[in-house]
């Protein structure tokens, strides 16, 4: 065979040139080209300060020297990461469901084996199989029974769907009500300020309009009906309000709503044709002796009349909080009240696109709502472990509130429930100027300094939104008591290091004054004094 012809060579050259040109013109998708709603999305609980904490932690493991030996993680309500012991019965049921050889174990109590076997029969014999999109029917039946027992009101499994934690349920509800419209027809969602960042992030993702209503800090982060009315009216020019979100007990603020408060919220929703999204994942976490949990569903039923029959309610619950704290299994549910059957069908169609929530998460949720009963082998141990967890949390809630209010420059409202405190910071002008020079929100500047100097990781209040001119941070109450005391010592020292010459500082007791001196600050000029504190100025 002779050499290739000139025509063949030219054809090959043209093809190669086109191929090379195609390769040269290929460009990657840039950040400017992705969904703009995704770019707007922020989630402070796992934001840049937390990422910096992870970097520091890795450095410590490699032997890097810091003024501290470890990171104290107070940024997220992760109970087991903070050292809480898992509830034995929950883990025993899950263990048997995952490994049926444990049915022969003498270590596992019979009621745990029975619960596991009952669940396995409902999922075709294996936790590795898919379930229905709305969740295992048996679990939905058990949840309905739990709600009926809690509220004394009928509940139907058909109105309940399981989710990958309550967070996914929230996203499905808010996504269902989003619109593609802009301006005054854009879907508006009322959320409390301060709020859990899941809500602002989800609103950004679906391009819903955020209508923030402020909780009143001075009265224990209370919810005022007048505030709801004012914010709703102001928002109507920008959107079509469709949803009212209420978090009870509160995250990050730890308040627990009264029965009358909830009734007022439901009447407001009825007057203004709003669907109520009730985030009730902390319903087991009530610490204030004068407060108890009132479900929105029960209060709605008690109101009676048109309100009870017309207000649409989506209520969320989770296996991640309460006494169980099983965050990693991602179990949660949502109950729908007064939903149009066709709307419910559309929602369930959307659920089918993600096949099903984690089956082990569903099993975890099932054990939570169907715990050991009196007379069963595990009842005594389960009850003791549950009581111990909730008792410890109640003590730590009181401790954190008390310790914060003893520190100069901190003000903490009562931690009535949930797992967090949200103290207010009073920082001197020079600290605020330093934050401005660093191009950081004041509270973010403070918590960054706290992290870098002490290893304590908390979340700045700006990540939850807050009333303009105020500065806060959120901390969990989950760490062990010893760690809590260490954290408070670090907070005192960091506060001292932020005191600048000529700026006033409020000293509440001799202990705090001693710490200020130990930081190298002083002498002090006593500008004013009362029976409870000294108002000092550095000289």
pLDDT, one tens digit per residue, over 435-457 is 888 888 888 888 888 898 889 99
- Residue bearing tokens 């429930």: 417
| pLDDT tens-place string over residues 122-164 | 999 999 999 999 999 999 999 999 999 999 999 999 999 999 9
pLDDT in the model for residue 408 = 81
pTM listed for this prediction: 0.85
| pLDDT tens-place string over residues 154-205 | 999 999 999 999 999 999 999 999 888 888 899 999 999 999 989 999 999 9
Mean pLDDT of 263-290: 98
User: For 83, left (φ over 0), alpha (ψ -120 to 50), or beta?
Assistant: left
Q: Which of 70-79, 147-156, 378-387 has the lowest mean pLDDT?
A: 70-79
- Residue bearing tokens 């009212």: 244
For the chain, the structural domain boundaries read 1-83+394-494, 159-357, 499-539
Q: Decide the pairing of beta strands 524-529 and 420-421.
A: unpaired
Report how far apart, in Å, the C-alpha atoms of 477 and of each of 1, 9, 218, 399 are: 84, 76, 21, 9
CATH (residue range 1-83+394-494): 3.90.1150.10
194 upstream amide cis, omega within 30 of 0: yes
State yes or no: pLDDT of 524 exceeds 90.
no
| Rounded CA separation 374/387 (Å) | 15
Q: Where are the beta strands (DSSP E) in 284-400?
A: 313-318, 331-337
| Rounded CA separation 200/189 (Å) | 10
- Residue bearing tokens 């500082």: 505
The CATH number corresponding to 159-357 among 3.10.180.10, 3.90.870.10, 3.40.640.10, 3.40.50.720 equals: 3.40.640.10
Bridge partners (DSSP) of residue 216 are 222
Give one DSSP letter per residue of 143-192, joined into a string.
Answer: HHHHHHHHHSS---GGGEEEEEHHHHHHHHHHHHT--S--GGGSEEEEEE
The number of CA neighbours under 13 Å toward the Cβ of 273 is 6
C-alpha angle 22/26/29, rounded to 5°? Answer: 160
Sheet strands side by side (includes 420-421) = 420-421, 473-476, 459-460
Q: What is the mean pLDDT of the chain?
A: 87
């Amino acid at each position: 065979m002779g050499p290739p012809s000139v025509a063949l060579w030219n054809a090959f050259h043209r093809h190669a040139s086109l191929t090379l040109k195609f390769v040269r013109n290929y460009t990657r998708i840039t950040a400017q080209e992705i969904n703009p709603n995704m770019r707007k999305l922020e989630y402070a609980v796992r934001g840049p300060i937390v990422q910096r904490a992870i970097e520091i932690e890795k450095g410590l493991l490699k032997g890097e020297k810091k003024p501290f030996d470890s990171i104290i993680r107070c940024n997220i309500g992760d109970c087991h990461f903070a050292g809480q012991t898992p509830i034995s019965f929950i883990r025993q049921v899950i263990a048997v469901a995952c490994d049926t050889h444990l049915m022969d174990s003498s270590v596992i109590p019979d009621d745990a084996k029975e619960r596991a076997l009952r669940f396995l029969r409902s999922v075709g014999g294996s936790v590795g199989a898919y379930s229905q999109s709305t969740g295992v029917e048996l679990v939905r039946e058990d949840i309905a029974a739990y709600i009926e027992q809690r509220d004394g009101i009928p509940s139907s499994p058909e109105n309940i769907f399981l989710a990958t934690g309550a967070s996914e349920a929230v996203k499905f509800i808010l996504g269902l009500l989003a619109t593609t419209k802009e301006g005054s027809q854009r879907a508006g969602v009322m959320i409390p300020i301060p709020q859990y960042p899941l809500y602002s992030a989800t609103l950004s993702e679906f391009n819903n309009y955020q209508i923030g209503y402020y909780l009143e800090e001075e009265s224990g982060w209370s919810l005022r009906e007048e505030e709801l009315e004012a914010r709703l009216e102001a928002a109507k020019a920008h959107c079509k309000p469709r949803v009212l979100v209420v978090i009870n007990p509160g995250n990050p603020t730890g308040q627990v709503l009264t029965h009358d408060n909830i009734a007022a919220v439901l009447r407001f929703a009825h007057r203004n044709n709003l669907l109520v999204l009730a985030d009730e994942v902390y319903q087991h976490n009530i610490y204030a002796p004068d407060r108890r949990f009132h479900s929105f569903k029960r209060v709605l039923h008690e109101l009676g009349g048109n309100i009870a029959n017309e207000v649409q309610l989506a209520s969320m619950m989770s296996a991640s909080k309460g006494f169980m704290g099983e965050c990693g299994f991602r179990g949660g549910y949502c109950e729908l009240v007064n939903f149009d059957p066709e709307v419910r069908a559309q929602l369930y169609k959307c659920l089918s696109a993600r096949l099903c929530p984690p089956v082990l998460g569903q099993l975890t949720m099932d054990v939570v709502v169907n715990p050991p009963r009196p007379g069963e082998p595990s009842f005594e141990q389960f009850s003791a472990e549950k009581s111990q967890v909730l008792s410890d949390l109640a003590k730590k809630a009181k401790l954190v509130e008390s310790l914060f209010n003893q520190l100069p420059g901190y003000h903490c409202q009562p931690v009535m429930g949930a797992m967090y405190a949200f103290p207010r910071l009073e920082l001197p002008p020079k600290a605020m100027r330093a934050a401005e020079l660093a191009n950081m929100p004041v509270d973010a500047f403070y918590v960054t300094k706290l992290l870098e100097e002490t290893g304590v990781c908390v979340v700045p209040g700006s990540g939850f939104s807050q009333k303009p001119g105020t500065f806060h941070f959120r901390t969990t109450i989950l760490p062990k008591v010893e760690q809590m005391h260490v954290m408070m010592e670090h907070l005192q020292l960091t506060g001292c290091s932020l005191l600048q010459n000529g700026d006033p500082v409020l000293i509440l007791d001799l202990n705090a004054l001693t710490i200020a001196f130990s930081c190298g600050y002083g002498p002090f000029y006593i500008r004013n004094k009362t029976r409870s504190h000294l108002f000092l100025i550095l000289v």
